[in-house]
């Protein structure tokens, strides 16, 4: 079973392309493509980039990680 990466899930959930997401955030669409192709985890991108994405989506950076990050890693990073 293929597990979609966080980039594809965001694009699908918000009905937006990588190109459109790149234009809105100021990050190149190729950056998103590289993240998807390389399997870069959301937790491993620069915080500033995560914040740009969260702001465009209208959610907090914490919510972005909760929704699109890998669950096991988030449990270790966020102390509740």
pLDDT of 3: 67
Q: How far is CA 69 from the centre of its chain?
A: 7
pLDDT of 70: 80
**DSSP-based three-state secondary structure for 22:** helix
Q: What is the pLDDT of residues 46-57, one digit of tens each?
A: 999 999 999 999
Distance CA 35, CA 76 (A): 22
Distance CA 76, CA 64 (A): 16
Highest CATH level, class, for 6-77: mainly alpha
Going from N- to C-terminal start, the domains of the chain cover 6-77
In sequence order, the 6+-apart residues with CB closer than 8 A to the CB of 51 are 61
Q: What is the pLDDT of residues 30-43, one digit of tens each?
A: 999 899 899 999 99
Task: Please count the helices (runs of H) and the strands (runs of E) in the chain.
Answer: 6, 0
């Amino acid at each position: 079973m293929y597990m979609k990466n966080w980039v594809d899930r965001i694009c699908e959930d918000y009905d937006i392309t990588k190109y459109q997401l790149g234009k809105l955030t100021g990050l190149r669409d190729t950056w998103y493509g590289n993240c998807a192709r390389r399997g870069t985890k959301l937790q491993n991108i620069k915080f500033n980039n995560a914040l740009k994405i969260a702001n465009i989506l209208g959610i907090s950076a914490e919510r972005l990680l909760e929704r699109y990050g890998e669950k096991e890693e988030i449990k270790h990073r966020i102390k509740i």
